[in-house]
Amino acid sequence: MRVIRVGTRKSQVSLARIQTDSVVATLKALYPGLQFEIIAMSTTGDKILDTALSKIGEKSLFTKELELALERNEVDLVVHSLKDLPTVLPPGFTIGAICKRESPYDAVVFHPKFVGKTLETLPEKSVVGTSSLRRAAQLQRKFPHLEFKSIRGNLNTRLRKLDELQEFSAIILAAAGLQRMGWQNRVGQILHPEECMYAVGQGALGVEVRAKDQDILDLVGVLHDPETLLRCIAERAFLRHLEGGCSVPVAVHTAMKDGQLYLTGGVWSLNGADSMQETMQATIHVPAQHEDGPEDDPQLVGITARNIPRRAQLAAESLGISLATLLLNKGAKNILDVARQLNDAH
C-alpha cells in the first residue's frame, strides 16, 4: 500500500493539526487504496513567540521547515493556512490545491466580563489584542476610542491570555480558525468588510507540494474548489503586485456573483489615518471541474490548478494586478513605504 506522508506544524490540539487532519480525511475518502501518515515538526514561527509577527520580517515564518522536509523528500505534501503562504514560493514548490474557503472574516472574542458587548460599545481606552497590522490599522480608524496591542501565541495561548490576564478586553482572531477548533461559542462579533476587510487567502487552506511531483499534483488537484481558487488568485495577484507582506496593512474582499468576480482591495498607514481602497470587477465563469487543457508553465501566484480552465485563472490574476496598479497610480506606494519604514523602525 503506497504511503503518502503529510507534513504539519507540531502542536497537539493545534489549529495546524486540525486543518491537516481535515484535508487528510478528505483525501482518505477519495483514495481508500492509499495510506496517509502525518509527520509533525516545529517551525520558526512556533519558536519565536515573544515578538510581533510583522517585526520578525520573515515571510516564510511558519513554512520554511516544512518546505525543507518537502525538498528533502521526507514528506509529500504540507497543509497550510493559505494566508501564511507568501505570494512567491521558493523555486521547486507549488500550491497544488486550495480547498473550499470557510468564513474569511475576522471575529472578536471578548473577555468574560464584556460578553454581550461589541467593539463599538466597549469602554473608552479598552485594550484589544491582535497580532495583525492589517486589523489594527483598520480598526483604529473605525474605533478611535480603543487601544490596540500585539498579542502572540497559538489560539489556545491567546484565549488563555485574554481570559486570565486582565490586560485585554477583547482579541481579534480569524473566524475560520475558531470554527475549525470548535470554539464558535466564543465569537462575540463578526467583523464585516466595512469594519475590517480580511487578509489575502484568509479562511482557505492551501496544500503545498513539489512542483515537479506530477503524481502528488494529480492526487491533490481534486481538492481545488473553483470559486475559492479564482478568488484567491485575484487576492494573491493584488498583494504580489503591491509587494505587500506581513509588515504592511493590506486587506481584501472578494465575491463571485453571476459570472462576475468582484475584488475590493485597500492599503492603510499603520495607525489607519491614511487609507485608500478601490473595487474592480471582471467577467469570469466559474467552470465545472475537470476541463483539461495542455499546460506549459502552469503556476500562477504560486498555484498550480490544471483542472480549472487557464482562461478563468488568467482573468482572475489580471483583475488582481489591475486593482493593484490602480491603487499604486493613486499613491498607495507612498502609504505602504511609510508603513514599512515605521514598522522596521519600531
**Residue 339 neighbours by CB distance under 10 Å:** 24
- CA 151/CA 173 separation, integer angstroms: 10
Nearest to 305 by CA among 293, 321, 319, 315: 293
Spatial distance between the Cα atoms of 182 and 37, rounded to a whole number of angstroms: 24
- Which class for 120: exposed (0-12), middle (13-18), buried (19 or more C-beta within 10 A)? exposed
Distance CA 315, CA 310 (A): 9
CA dist., res. 52 & res. 210, Å (int) = 30
| Beta pairing, strands 205-210 & 127-129 | unpaired
Q: What 3-state class would DSSP assign to 91?
A: coil
Reply yes or no on whether 84 is catalytic: yes
Element (H, E) at 35: strand 35-41
Residue 241 in grid coordinates? 503586485
Residue 155's DSSP bridge partners are none
- Coil vs helix vs strand at 269: coil
Query: 21, 46, 76, 84: which is the annotated catalytic residue?
Result: 84
Tell me how far apart the alpha carbons of residues 298 and 296 are, in angstroms, rounded to a whole number.
6
Rg of the chain over Cα atoms, rounded to whole angstroms, equals 20
Q: Is the dihedral of CA 200, 216, 45, 244 positive or negative?
A: negative
Which positions are annotated as active-site residues? 84
